[in-house]
Structure 1
Amino acid sequence: MFAPNVWSFDSPNTQIAYKYSESNEKHEKQICKRIHSHPFNRVISIILPDTKAVPEAILPLLRDTDHYHISAVPLTEFIKKPFIEAFVKQGQFYGLSVDTRIDVDNCFGITPEGIFYLSITKDTYHRLGIQGKPSPFAKIHRNRYSIEINLKSAELATTTKQYARLQNALSNETLGTFTVRIAWEAPREKDVKKAICPSSIAKYFSDSGYDVELKQTECKTKLEYGLKMPTLGPESDDLVVINGQSNFYATPHELVEYAGMLALSCNLEPTEYLNTWSFSGHTVEVGSALIIRLKGLFSCNLVKMIFKKLRDYANQNVEIPWISLYVHGDPNSPVSFGGIEHSFTTNGDNSYAVFVSSNNKCLYYEFLSSNKALK
Structure 2
Amino acid sequence: MLTALQTCPRHLLVCEKSSFLQERSRHSAHVETHYYNYCVSICLPECRLLPEKVKNIIDDFGSYYLVKNLPVNEFLTQEFNDRFLKKGLFYALSYNTRIDQDNVAAVLPTGKLILSVNKDTYEEMGLQGKPSLYSGKKAIRYIVTIDLSDSSMSPDGKKFQRVKWALTEKKPLALDFLVSWDPLDNSEQPSIQSYYSKYVVKECRFQVNSNVSRDLLCPVLKSDELHGKEGTSCSASEVFEWLGAISNEINCNNESNSFISSFCCPEPSILVEQAHVCTVTGFITPTKIQKLVKQLREYFNEPKLSQWVSIMVHGFADSPVSWRETEHGYFKGGENLYSFVIFNNEDYWLQMAVGTYDGCPP
Q: TM-score, normalised by structure 2?
A: 0.91
- The residue aligned with 2:119 is 122
Question: RMSD of the alignment, in Å?
Answer: 2.3
- The correspondence for 1:259, drawn from 243, 254, 277, is 243
- The correspondence for 1:365, drawn from 338, 344, 352, is 352
Query: Which residue identity lines up with residue 63 of structure 1 in the other structure?
Result: D
- The correspondence for 1:295, drawn from 281, 286, 299, is 281
Q: Does 1:113 align with 2:110?
A: yes
* CA distance 1:164–1:224, shift in 2 (3 Å): same
- The residue aligned with 2:94 is 97
Contact persistence 1:128–1:172 (CA under 8 A): no
Q: Does 1:236 align with 2:226?
A: yes
1:345 match: secondary structure: helix
Q: Distance in 1 between matches of 2:23 and 2:119?
A: 42
1:126 match: secondary structure: helix
- The residue aligned with 1:344 is 330
Deviates most, 81-90 or 269-278: 269-278
Deviates most, 49-58 or 301-310: 49-58
- The correspondence for 1:334, drawn from 291, 296, 320, is 320
Q: Distance in 2 between matches of 1:162 and 1:32?
A: 34
Q: Distance in 1 between matches of 2:111 and 2:340?
A: 27
Contact persistence 1:345–1:369 (CA under 8 A): no
Q: Distance in 2 between matches of 1:370 and 1:181?
A: 28
* CA distance 1:315–1:345, shift in 2 (3 Å): farther
- For structure 1, list consecutive stretches of 5 or more residues without a partner in the other structure: 190-194, 240-245
- The residue aligned with 1:220 is 209
Q: Distance in 2 between matches of 1:11 and 1:96?
A: 29
Q: Distance in 2 between matches of 1:344 and 1:248?
A: 38
- The correspondence for 1:177, drawn from 156, 174, 179, is 174
Q: Distance in 2 between matches of 1:24 and 1:205?
A: 40
Q: Distance in 2 between matches of 1:108 and 1:317?
A: 47
1:171 match: secondary structure: helix
- The residue aligned with 1:249 is 233
Contact persistence 1:108–1:118 (CA under 8 A): yes
Q: Distance in 1 between matches of 2:236 and 2:306?
A: 18
Where does 1:151-230 land on structure 2 (aligned, <5 Å)? Answer: 151-172=148-169, 174-189=171-186, 195-197=187-189, 200-206=191-197, 209-230=198-219
Can you list the C-alpha shifts for 1:183-211, whole angstroms capped at 9, x where unaligned?
0111214xxxxx225x71221001xx101
Can you list the C-alpha shifts for 1:209-229, whole angstroms capped at 9, x where unaligned?
101000110111111110121
Contact persistence 2:310–2:340 (CA under 8 A): yes
Q: Distance in 1 between matches of 2:74 and 2:60?
A: 26
Deviates most, 44-53 or 91-100: 44-53
Contact persistence 1:91–1:187 (CA under 8 A): yes
1:281 match: secondary structure: coil
Q: Does 1:57 align with 2:53?
A: yes
- The residue aligned with 1:42 is 38
Q: Distance in 1 between matches of 2:48 and 2:35?
A: 31
* CA distance 1:247–1:146, shift in 2 (3 Å): same
Query: Which residue identity lines up with residue 244 of structure 2 in the other structure?
Result: G
2:22 match: secondary structure: helix
2:297 match: secondary structure: helix
1:285 match: secondary structure: strand
Query: Which residue identity lines up with residue 363 of structure 1 in the other structure?
Result: L
Q: Distance in 2 between matches of 1:128 and 1:353?
A: 39
Can you list the C-alpha shifts for 1:133-160, whole angstroms capped at 9, x where unaligned?
1111125111111111111111111112
Can you list the C-alpha shifts for 1:32-52, whole angstroms capped at 9, x where unaligned?
111111100111011111212
Contact persistence 1:219–1:295 (CA under 8 A): yes
Q: Distance in 2 between matches of 1:112 and 1:221?
A: 30
Q: Distance in 1 between matches of 2:264 and 2:69?
A: 49
Query: Which residue identity lines up with residue 134 of structure 1 in the other structure?
Result: P
